[in-house]
Amino acid sequence: MPRSYPAEFRRKVLDLVETGKPVAEIAEQLGVTGQTIYNWRNQDLIDRGLRPGVSTAESAELAAARRRIRELETELAVTRRANELLKEQADPKGGSGSSSPS
């Protein structure tokens, strides 16, 4: 799994890039790959509306929506299974009603 960096750290790295310092030099000094820095820069441009793409906020919202959908699908499956079990318990052929002759 990729390593996660705090937002403040990423912001400081991007500030260094904006000052004109070479990405390779920043990467070596801070122990981050150059590709990671390029990815952060690209995402920053998207977030600021300077490049088309899915913003960080939209990605987070989409991930939360997908998580909620999974939860709701699980709840629905459990409810359906419980309903099936209850139907099996209340077997209509069991003769639960009284059938005494009048």
Q: What is the pLDDT along the chain (102 residues), one digit of tens a residue?
A: 678 899 999 999 999 999 999 999 999 999 999 999 999 999 999 999 999 999 999 999 999 999 999 999 999 999 999 999 999 988 666 555 555 555
Q: Is residue 28 part of a domain?
A: yes
Say yes or no: 42 and 59 in one domain.
no
Amino acid, single-letter form, for residue 89: Q
Say yes or no: 14 and 62 in one domain.
no
pLDDT of residue 60: 96
pTM above 0.85, yes or no: no
pLDDT of residue 2: 73
pLDDT of residue 3: 80
What domain count does the chain have?
Answer: 2
pLDDT of residue 90: 82
Say yes or no: 36 and 62 in one domain.
no
Instruction: State the residue range of the domain holding 71.
Output: 55-86
